[in-house]
Amino acid sequence: MLCGACAAQVDATLSNPMRSWFDATLLPPNPMPRMRTKADLPRKTCAACGRPFVWRKKWARDWDAVKTCSERCKSELRRANRDARAVDVARA
């Protein structure tokens, strides 16, 4: 025989077929931290296109060195720098 509070909890958990009474009473709350949203991540402005971009996990080690938002912008920035150096050499 269950007390009134326990009986109410059993009825509430058994009404959901995906959960059992055992899961609801013996398991601790979820220890995983809440996920971060994109608004919480650091931002930079792309040096090539000027659009803002957000931190990515693959950039974790060298975030300070990241200047562009994509490989395309990276190649465009390199091309622009190469062309600018060629013009300076031609003027000299």
Under 8 Å between Cβ of 50 and 35: no
Q: Considering the entire predicted model, what is its pTM?
A: 0.54
For the chain, the structural domain boundaries read 1-31, 38-91
Other C-beta atoms lying within 10 Å of the C-beta of residue 76: 16
In this predicted structure, what is the pLDDT of residue 40? Answer: 85
What pLDDT digit, counting tens, does each position of 7-65 carry? Answer: 655 555 555 555 555 555 565 666 767 777 878 889 999 999 999 999 999 999 999 99
- Higher model confidence: residue 73 or residue 23? 73
Which pLDDT score, from 0 to 100, does residue 36 have? 74
Helices (H), 1-92: 4-14, 21-26, 71-91
Mean pLDDT to the nearest integer, 60-86: 93
**Whether residue 77 has pLDDT greater than 60:** yes
